[in-house]
Amino acid sequence: MPFIKDRKTAVIGLILTAILWSTGGLFIKMVNGHPIAISGARAGIAALFMLFIVKFKFIPFTKNIVFGMIFYSITVIGFVTANKLTTSANAVLLQYIAPVWVAIFAAIFLKDKLRRSDFVSIAFMLFGLRLFFLDELSTGMFLGNAIAVLTSFSFAGFFIVVKTIPDQNKIYPIIYGNILSFLIGIPFFSSQLLLTPSISALLFLGIFQIGLAYVLYSKSMVYLKALDAVLIPVIEPLLNPVWVFLFIGEIPTVTTILGGFFVIASVLLRSLYQSSNKKDIKKVA
């Protein structure tokens, strides 16, 4: 994406990414079939799309590339599975514990220095997300919730590993990860995926919600710290009730609105604070 060339345009890229990612729960619910099959079909379409728009050339499977593709595959398969076993709200909420792991992993493996603003924004974000889904968080869907928590670890691991990969190769663990997810999903494919609503939803999921979104994300994260790359797209779960309201007519609760305020505040205030410090806006390789 040629328009992504500095931190400001990277933030725009991440906002677009969040919008595309936020449609996942809605469209996943529209597809009939086994969750691993849905994830595989979505990933296969995404891989074809990425190969079409990216100047692809085969590169060796280095240790970091392999770990990146595995973490990615676990994340996308786990997210679809969680959406089928629990509510979309639960799946997104529990997956977005990832910034906590990113902060910890980045400090350990990337030697990133944690600042007070990082801790404050994480605390605000987690409190806001808890309020945001307070009415919907279900303890009766243990397996789905447990899988969503697992994806938060793989989500964080993916971000950390990709930050160690050279800029020009950051898209490869995503492409390879989609191919891996497709291969894993093949044994679970069924005729249900060929139904018209399912095909339409899968095409949108593969091309836009995964393909275009991750191209934008991989280009944007070159200019941001690992923690930035998770905290900014956290606006994704805020958009879920918007889609629900527009297509189903469900009105957000007071706790949802209050939680949304805390999450947005944590993202915006942190971005404004760190943008005022030149050392925080330089390109991070």
pLDDT of 133 reads 63
At 253, the pLDDT band (50, 70, 90 cuts) reads: low
CA distance 201 to 195: 10
| Across 225-232, average pLDDT | 66
The residue assigned the tokens 């679970």 is 188
Question: In residues, how long is the chain?
Answer: 285
Over range 65-69, report the average pLDDT: 94
pTM: 0.80
Under the banding of pLDDT at 50, 70 and 90, the label for residue 279 is very low
Q: Cα separation of 229 and 6, whole Å?
A: 14
pLDDT > 90: what percent of the chain?
26
pLDDT category at 276 given cuts 50, 70, 90 is: low
Residue 139 above 60 pLDDT? no
Q: Does some domain include residue 195?
A: yes
Report yes or no: 98 and 152 within 8 Å, Cβ to Cβ. Answer: yes
**Does 2 fall in a domain?**
no
Q: What is the pLDDT of residue 266?
A: 72
In this predicted structure, what is the pLDDT of residue 283?
35
> Does residue 72 form part of some domain?
yes
Q: Measured between alpha carbons, how far is 177 from 171 in angstroms, rounded to an integer?
A: 10
Token couple for 8? 């400001």
Distances (CA, A) of 112 to 109, 225, 284: 8, 8, 11
Q: Which one is predicted more confidently, 227 or 225?
A: 225
pLDDT in the model for residue 45:
96
Specify the amino acid at residue 153.
F
Q: Domain for residue 71, yes or no? A: yes
Among left, alpha and beta (phi > 0; psi -120 to 50; other), residue 111 is left
Asked whether the beta carbons of 195 and 47 are under 8 A apart, the reply is no
pLDDT for 136 equals 56
Q: Per mean pLDDT, which range of 38-52, 100-114, 259-273 is the poorest?
A: 259-273
Is residue 155 domain-resident? Answer: yes
In this predicted structure, what is the pLDDT of residue 280? 43
Secondary structure of residue 184 in the 3-state scheme: helix
How many domains does one find in the chain? 1
In a domain, 285, yes or no: no
Task: Tell me what the mean pLDDT of segment 222-241 comes to.
Answer: 73
Overall average pLDDT of the 254-262 stretch: 70
Residue 1: what pLDDT? 58
**Which pLDDT belongs to residue 69?**
95
User: Given pLDDT bands bounded at 50, 70 and 90, which one contains residue 237?
Assistant: confident
- The label of the residue with tokens 């994260």 reads 221
Which residue segment(s) compose the domain that 93 sits in? 7-280
The beta strands (E) that lie in the chain are given as none
What is the reported pLDDT for 177?
A: 95
pLDDT digits (tens, 9 = 90+) for 103-134: 777 777 777 777 777 778 778 777 877 776 66
> Could you give the angle at which helices 7-21 and 236-248 cross, rounded to 10 degrees?
40
pLDDT recorded at residue 39:
95
Residues 144 and 91: beta-carbon distance below 8 Å: yes
Specify if 1 maps to a domain: no
Q: Is residue 79 part of a domain?
A: yes
Q: 257 vs 174, which has greater pLDDT?
A: 174
Low-confidence winner among 39-53, 80-94, 148-162 (lowest mean pLDDT): 80-94
pLDDT digits (tens, 9 = 90+) for 14-36: 889 989 999 988 898 888 889 99
